[in-house]
Structure 1
Amino acid sequence: MKKTASAVWQGGLKDGKGSLSTQSGALKDTPYGFNTRFEDTPGTNPEELIGAAHAGCFSMALSNILGQAGLTAERIETKAEVNFEKIGDAFTITAIALELKAKIPGTDNAKFQELATQAKEGCPVSRVLNAEISLHATLEN
């Protein structure tokens, strides 16, 4: 199975503009640029999209692991905070913090933490990223 995404960039770093598209059409010529990446201009950027991909992948991985344990979540909400900073002359994603809130009938916090950690370690996006990936998981009752 292969999934594709593409980027088109025109111009210099600060004055140029780009667009992002995905095979599914979820993104279609979605604009991005220096101002959406390094300033507060509304729009998307690669780090935000990595965060969205990681949150989505992790949530699905957790749902799968819960199912294998005979559990079904009423709700899984995952936020990924991507830390993007300048180290020397290069910008680097140095960490991703996953913030999980879930409502899962029939489990306790110890089992929840165990399964959430398995999902963090087994999620394909977690495995592809070289950044430090942390997880803070909260079970809501």
Structure 2
Amino acid sequence: MINRKATAIWKGTGKEGTGTISTQSTVLENTQYSFNTRFADGKGTNPEELVAAAHAGCFAMKLSFELNAAGFTADELNATATISLDPAQGKIVKSAIELKAQVPGISAEQFAQVADKAKKECPISQLLNTEITLNAELVS
């Protein structure tokens, strides 16, 4: 079992309050978040941005492992995850992954199969209870 943790501290009301997020690794340390960083363009981070970063990173790493298992090594995997929060529903409704990949020697069909497997099996994909889409492009 591997455990990772982060701590959020919130002070005040939901709309006027402020908070900080810190991670065990200290990559984030007292990083500011607030209503404005979540629902407007305030300075700081927000939970959805952090989930997007986790999903993109997890997917790219899982894809790398899957490519290696299939006998390929990527020169580069550039994955961007966009998390969609529907304020009316109060929930995340989608994670859309955009991928540009440089993988020498792989066919488009092999690449599509391996990328789809990574999308389904990366631990963050399995955690999210929402629609997950993948637009994967093999580039040279």
Is this a same-fold pair by TM over 0.5?
A: yes
Matched with 1:102 is: 101
Structure 1 outlier segments of 4+, above 2 Å: none
Q: TM-score, normalised by structure 2?
A: 0.97
SS at 2:57 equivalent: helix
Q: TM-score, normalised by structure 1?
A: 0.96
- Encode CA deviations 1:11-48: one digit per residue, 9 max, x unaligned: 00111000001101110000000010001112210000
Q: Find the aligned partners of 2:65 and 2:105 in 1 and give their Cα distance.
A: 16
Gaps of 5+ in 1: none
Q: Find the aligned partners of 2:77 and 2:43 in 1 and give their Cα distance.
A: 27
Offset, 1:92: 1.1
- Encode CA deviations 1:56-83: one digit per residue, 9 max, x unaligned: 0000000000010110000000000111
SS at 1:136 equivalent: strand
- Encode CA deviations 1:88-139: one digit per residue, 9 max, x unaligned: xx42100010000000001011110000000001100000110110100000
SS at 1:14 equivalent: coil
Offset, 1:85: 1.0
- Aligned pairs for 1:1-141 within 5 A: 1-87=2-88, 90-141=89-140
Q: Find the aligned partners of 1:64 and 1:114 in 2 and give their Cα distance.
A: 14
